[in-house]
């Protein structure tokens, strides 16, 4: 039985006490629903795992012990992240026809996380968080039965706490050290002296990270919480010590199972960057724990050059080559990691064969910054690079048998140009359980989203390794539904597809590539039946400079303009930076996508008699040497003007009753729009940042620092022009925001400025919430606040 939240009248003024409220019935019926399960399949597409999540957390779930250290938020009692969203139930199904089978033997009141299939995919491991800690469990797939492997002694403070070994019978697990010392209470410990920080003259363009270490007591606690002992845990429950206590942060097993690459955090720690930029040491060990080779020692990474393509010097992105028994690969910058340095090639990729007694061998170089590789065999691998300044990405075909030879560029494009996207190369699991390129008949295979000017038509292509040309195997022809192609089975000639429509909940199918026939796999009920008759269409329009824009317009069910008159309009948007107008004007919206309301959008209000323009295009374009943000405010206003004009042209909206909303960078957008134009009657800004001088080393897509572009930072900051704000604004923020730059005090200070200047504003701080909102009490209250605000200012 669901807990009823008490209601009360709105407070007379901000600052008055207010109990949690519920939204009106039309919204509550949509918001209070049961989530459909998350579906995953094994690589052979023989078994389907269905994972069930609660729709919301309870506020009590957020009210737990928490330490914020090194960029992490940790529950020191259970030794796992305090922000984990847990699976509450699991079912398995044999495909295609068998019924779902409840996984037996799950712990009571399951809190499941870190779910991983074994290399042979006959087992599924997971962690369960009890009141006293995290335990490791395993499911036998064929029998759908779970059992416990360890007690609540697993250390998940640094993420996934275990790794399957190659035999699928053993796992390498981080366990809490025996006799671990007690944590220091910073409030009770008397400092031995002041906390001191020193600038050594080296430039460091770091974002405004949250939850960093601040004191020596924090350092002690972080080290205690990060320290584990590595054990081998077999499926029969036997434990054997692999390595003694250390701050283990990553373990990777070689494809042949003979070696383990183990990385540990080292000192000195940092007070200005999160833990993933602390020093690390990477060592290859044999299965018996014998050290084979120290393969990398990365120093503290506090100082990076400016730019999103800046990287540290030295070896990085080290991992096992998936198609070889025991070969490492890594990338190293040729430009010192500095995007400002002119260089014909930016990175070089090396391979290194066990036992690592010879130097690493150069394999190939990339024009842009290396961005990953998918291994296939001795003749074929696919690598990627990118360059943010130009939005360029290149895809390379690499012949690993010819080290040093130039890699062939097979795709060279603007990654924001979605109409030219060739798709992603498909992978399969090899015998070692590693993901490698799917290679059949001398070909690779791609699945693409299929965005075009005429609409979205996903496709499957066969890419010949000899010809370097793609041959189309299948292209969706659906015009009344949306189809997503998820995984290709080339041997069986079929693809896993997800199909949905405006009123039909997404379901999974096998589609035969030759005949097009569908085999239905799921039949999930529609939890939002009350929206099935809401009118939905993608509208396309242009702003004054010719940039193409679009948005998804929702109108109430049964709405008749002649009978019902013009409606108030709600616009929800999020700005995005582009380097060319062509890409900015492309449309990725599909009118046949299922109407799926969630607390982050305004779609609910279509059931309350409003017109809603959801996901309205708000591109910010800066071509050539011009930076997008140099004309940020002007482009925001033109985007808004074009959106309102397009809706008005349809004859369905009242231009004097338009509201706008956004979250995070979208909230920043809202505050600027309400300050710099008179197009809106009100606005809602959630979890935003409003003073860019408080994020001085860049934000969102801005690479320049405040000192590089002080005029841009000031002109973009609505805090600086708070005296011009005259439009009603609802400001909402989670009181425990953990997102870089959007500190809760950004909203608090902005509200104080607005209040002091007499602007019409309301501030709502949601207790215990981070950047996104999770607790049922808070989400329902948020919807109530927004509804009250709209009813007052738009109706």
Provide mean pLDDT across the span 76-86: 97
pLDDT digits (tens, 9 = 90+) for 289-345: 999 999 999 999 999 999 999 999 999 999 999 999 999 999 999 999 999 999 999
Average per-residue pLDDT in the chain? 95
Q: Is the preceding peptide bond at 96 cis, omega within 30 degrees of 0?
A: yes
Distances (CA, A) of 112 to 53, 90, 101: 10, 9, 18
Provide mean pLDDT across the span 493-511: 96
pLDDT band at 247 (very low <50, low <70, confident <90, very high): very high
Distance CA 556, CA 653 (A): 12
Q: What is the pLDDT of residue 205?
A: 78
Of 184-193, 662-671, 772-781, the least confident: 184-193
Is residue 6 predicted with pLDDT exceeding 60?
A: no
Distance CA 414, CA 672 (A): 29
Is residue 8 predicted with pLDDT exceeding 80?
A: no
Distance CA 379, CA 443 (A): 12
Is residue 272 predicted with pLDDT exceeding 50?
A: yes
Handedness of CA 789, 790, 792, 793 (dihedral sign): positive
List the catalytic residue out of 347, 614, 737, 787.
Answer: 737
Structure tokens at 729: 């604004």
pLDDT digits (tens, 9 = 90+) for 446-478: 999 999 999 999 999 999 999 999 999 999 999
Provide mean pLDDT across the span 60-69: 95
pLDDT band at 15 (very low <50, low <70, confident <90, very high): low
Helices (H), 597-652: 632-649
Is residue 204 predicted with pLDDT exceeding 80?
A: no
What is the residue whose two structure tokens read 């959801």? 614
What's the Rg (C-alpha) of the chain? 27
Distance CA 259, CA 631 (A): 54
Helices (H), 728-773: 744-756
pLDDT band at 203 (very low <50, low <70, confident <90, very high): confident
Residues of the chain with pLDDT > 90: what percent?
Answer: 92
pLDDT digits (tens, 9 = 90+) for 256-266: 999 999 999 99
pLDDT digits (tens, 9 = 90+) for 163-182: 999 999 999 999 999 989 89
Is residue 10 predicted with pLDDT exceeding 70?
A: no
Is residue 206 predicted with pLDDT exceeding 90?
A: no
Q: What is the pLDDT of residue 274?
A: 97
Distance CA 725, CA 672 (A): 9
pLDDT digits (tens, 9 = 90+) for 423-433: 999 999 999 99
Write down the pTM of the prediction. 0.94
pLDDT band at 1 (very low <50, low <70, confident <90, very high): very low
List the catalytic residue out of 771, 781, 787, 793.
Answer: 771
Provide mean pLDDT across the span 469-493: 96
Give phi and psi for 128, each to the nearest 5: -125, 130
737 catalytic per annotation? yes
Distance CA 701, CA 715 (A): 16
Is residue 13 predicted with pLDDT exceeding 80?
A: no
Is residue 356 predicted with pLDDT exceeding 80?
A: yes
Q: What is the pLDDT of residue 16?
A: 62
Q: What is the pLDDT of residue 742?
A: 96
Structure tokens at 410: 């097979």
pLDDT band at 3 (very low <50, low <70, confident <90, very high): very low
Q: Which residues pair with 265 in a beta bridge?
A: 280
Provide mean pLDDT across the span 107-120: 97
List the catalytic residue out of 82, 270, 617, 664.
Answer: 664
Q: What is the pLDDT of residue 645?
A: 98
Q: What is the pLDDT of residue 5?
A: 42
pLDDT band at 7 (very low <50, low <70, confident <90, very high): very low
pLDDT band at 493 (very low <50, low <70, confident <90, very high): very high
pLDDT digits (tens, 9 = 90+) for 675-691: 999 999 999 999 999 99
């Amino acid at each position: 039985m669901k807990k009823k939240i008490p209601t009360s009248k709105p407070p007379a003024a901000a600052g008055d006490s207010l109990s949690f409220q519920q939204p009106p019935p039309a919204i509550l019926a949509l918001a209070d629903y049961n989530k459909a399960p998350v579906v995953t399949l094994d690589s052979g597409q023989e078994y389907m795992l269905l994972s069930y999540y609660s729709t919301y957390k309870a506020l009590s779930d957020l009210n737990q012990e928490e330490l914020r250290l090194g960029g992490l938020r940790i529950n020191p009692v259970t030794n796992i992240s305090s922000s984990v969203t847990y699976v509450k139930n699991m079912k398995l199904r044999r495909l295609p026809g068998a019924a779902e089978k409840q996984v037996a033997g799950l712990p009571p009141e399951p809190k499941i996380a870190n779910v991983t299939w074994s290399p042979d995919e006959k087992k599924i491991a997971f962690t369960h968080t009890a009141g006293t800690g995290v335990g490791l469990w395993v499911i036998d797939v064929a029998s759908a039965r779970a059992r416990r492997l360890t007690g609540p002694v697993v250390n998940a403070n640094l993420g996934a706490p275990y790794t399957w070994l190659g035999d699928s019978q053993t796992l390498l697990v981080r366990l809490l050290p025996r006799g671990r010392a007690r944590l220091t209470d910073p409030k009770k410990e008397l400092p031995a002296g002041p906390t001191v920080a020193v600038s050594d003259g080296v430039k460091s363009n770091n974002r405004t990270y949250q939850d960093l270490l601040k004191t020596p007591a924090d350092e002690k606690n972080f080290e205690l919480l990060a320290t584990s002992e590595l054990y081998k845990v077999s499926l029969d429950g036997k434990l054997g010590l692999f390595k003694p206590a250390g701050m283990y942060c990553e373990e990777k097993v070689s494809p042949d199972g003979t070696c383990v690459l183990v990385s540990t955090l080292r000192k000195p720690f940092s007070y200005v960057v999160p833990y993933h930029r602390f020093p690390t040491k990477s060592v290859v060990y044999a299965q018996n724990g014998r050290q084979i080779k120290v393969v990398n020692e990365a120093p503290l990474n506090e100082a990076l050059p400016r730019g999103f393509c800046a990287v540290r010097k030295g070896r990085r992105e080290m991992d096992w080559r998936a198609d070889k028994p025991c070969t490492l690969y890594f990338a190293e910058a040729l430009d010192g990691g500095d995007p400002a340095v002119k260089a014909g090639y930016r990175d070089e990729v090396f391979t290194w064969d066990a036992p690592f007694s010879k130097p690493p061998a150069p394999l190939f170089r990339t024009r842009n910054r290396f961005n990953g590789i998918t291994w296939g065999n001795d003749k074929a691998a696919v690598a990627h690079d990118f360059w943010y300044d130009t939005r360029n990405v290149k895809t390379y075909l690499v012949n690993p048998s010819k080290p040093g030879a130039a890699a062939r560029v097979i795709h060279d494009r603007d990654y924001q140009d979605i109409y030219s996207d060739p798709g992603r190369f498909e992978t399969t699991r090899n015998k070692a359980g590693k993901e490698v390129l799917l290679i059949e008949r001398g070909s690779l295979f791609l699945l693409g989203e299929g965005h075009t000017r005429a609409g979205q038509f996903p496709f499957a292509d066969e890419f010949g390794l000899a010809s370097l040309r793609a041959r189309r195997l299948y292209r969706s022809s659906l015009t009344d539904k949306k189809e997503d192609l998820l995984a290709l089975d080339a041997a069986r000639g079929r693809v896993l597809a997800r199909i949905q429509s405006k009123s039909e909940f997404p379901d999974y199918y096998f589609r035969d590539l030759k005949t097009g026939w569908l085999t239905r796999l799921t039949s999930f009920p529609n939890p939002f039946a009350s929206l099935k008759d809401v009118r939905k269409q993608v509208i396309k329009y242009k702003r004054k400079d010719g940039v193409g824009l679009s948005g998804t317009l929702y109108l109430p069910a049964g709405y008749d303009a002649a009978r019902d008159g013009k409606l108030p309009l709600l616009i929800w948007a999020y700005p995005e930076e582009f380097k060319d107008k062509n890409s900015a004007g492309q449309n990725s919206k599909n009118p046949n996508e299922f109407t799926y309301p969630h607390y982050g959008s305004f779609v609910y209000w279509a059931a309350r008699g409003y017109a809603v323009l959801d996901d309205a295009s708000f591109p910010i374009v800066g071509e050539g040497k011009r930076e997008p943000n140099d004309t940020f405010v002007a482009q925001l206003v033109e985007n808004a003007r074009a959106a309102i004009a397009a809706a008005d042209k349809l004859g369905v909206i009242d231009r004097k009753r338009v509201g706008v909303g956004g979250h995070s960078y979208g909230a920043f957008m809202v505050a600027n729009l309400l300050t710099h134009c008179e197009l809106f009657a009100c606005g809602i800004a959630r979890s935003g940042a409003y003073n860019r001088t408080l994020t001085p080393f860049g934000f969102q897509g801005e690479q320049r620092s405040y000192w590089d572009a002080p005029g841009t930072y000031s002109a973009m900051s609505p805090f600086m022009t708070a005296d011009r704000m005259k439009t009603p604004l609802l400001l909402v923020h989670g009181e425990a925001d953990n997102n870089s730059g959007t500190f809760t005090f950004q909203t608090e200070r902005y509200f104080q400025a607005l209040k002091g200047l007499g602007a019409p504003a309301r501030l709502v701080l949601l207790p215990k919430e981070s950047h996104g909102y999770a607790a049922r009490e808070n989400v329902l209250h948020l919807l109530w606040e927004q509804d009250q605000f709209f009813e007052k200012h738009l109706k």
